[in-house]
């Protein structure tokens, strides 16, 4: 591994929005959630990059195994957040 960077976003109760799409790319719903509080990113020996976002408690929340040279994530992330209790 060539490099690892760890960071924390400043601020308090930030929120973000996930936009869910169908297979044709049409928006089907939106979900507001607490924004990521920090990140760990790395560069592999072959030069490819990855990023893992952390929640406000410092737990891993989302992992993206591939990134573009400008930092944009590639493909679908892997949800690392713990299972949530069902809402009744």
Which residues have CB under 8 Å from 5's CB, separation 6+? Answer: 39, 40, 41, 42
The burial class, CB within 10 Å (0-12 / 13-18 / 19+), for 62 is: middle
**pLDDT above 60 for 59:** yes
Q: What is the pLDDT of residues 4-44, one digit of tens each?
A: 888 877 665 566 666 777 888 888 888 776 666 788 999 99
Domain membership flag for residue 70 = yes
Domain membership flag for residue 53 = yes
Domain enclosing residue 46, as ranges = 3-79
Domain membership flag for residue 32 = yes
What 8-state DSSP symbol labels residue 53? Answer: E
Whole-number average pLDDT of the chain? 80
Query: Between residues 56 and 66, which one has the greater pLDDT?
Result: 66
Task: Determine the pLDDT at residue 82.
Answer: 72
Domain membership flag for residue 84 = no
> Which residues partner with 6 through β-bridges?
40
For residue 57, CA distances in Å to 54, 63, 77 come to 8, 16, 20
Domain membership flag for residue 88 = no
Instruction: State how beta strands 15-21 and 78-79 pair.
Output: unpaired
In total, how many domains does the chain have? 1
Domain membership flag for residue 68 = yes
Domain membership flag for residue 34 = yes
């Amino acid at each position: 591994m060539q490099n690892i960077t760890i960071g924390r976003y400043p601020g308090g109760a930030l929120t973000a929005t996930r936009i869910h799409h169908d297979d044709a790319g049409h928006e089907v719903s939106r979900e507001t959630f607490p924004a990521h509080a920090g990140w760990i990113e790395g560069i592999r020996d072959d030069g490819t990059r990855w990023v893992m976002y952390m929640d406000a408690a410092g737990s891993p929340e989302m992992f993206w195994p591939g990134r573009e040279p400008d930092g944009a994530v590639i493909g679908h992330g892997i949800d690392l957040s713990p299972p949530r209790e069902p809402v009744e």
